[in-house]
Amino acid sequence: MVEVEKKKLPKSKLHVMADSMKISVVFKKRPIFAHELSEGELDVVSVIQPKIIVHDCKYKVDGVTKTIENTEFKFDNSFGENESNEELYFFQVRPILDLIFN
């Protein structure tokens, strides 16, 4: 069910440079580990820049029908598990260092 929800999501927007903001709040998602998958854990977090979406699997009141409740959280930048630490550095750290040292 979660994979179906993830396929419905729109494409991510471009990241914003940190020096264009006074305060920047960032989210970086780590990949789900193999041992978590083998234990039956699900990857229930989707990253669509600048938001993350938590897919909460639930049962309706009847106790039988499965449903997914999606909760969105918005950040200045959000980086998925497939985005590198170099990308995070480029958009978030380097612009601030340039401001400090120049």
97: left (phi over 0), alpha (psi -120 to 50) or beta: alpha
Mean pLDDT computed over 28-34: 94
- Residue 96 CA to residue 31 CA, distance in Å, equals 26
Domain ranges, ordered by start, for the chain: 2-15+24-82
- Residue 88 CA to residue 15 CA, distance in Å, equals 9
For residues 100 and 93, is the Cβ–Cβ distance under 8 A?
no
pTM of the predicted model over 0.85: no
Per-residue confidence band for 87, with pLDDT thresholds at 50, 70 and 90: very high
For residues 54 and 29, is the Cβ–Cβ distance under 8 A?
no
Mean pLDDT computed over 44-60: 93
Which tokens belong to 40? 């039956």
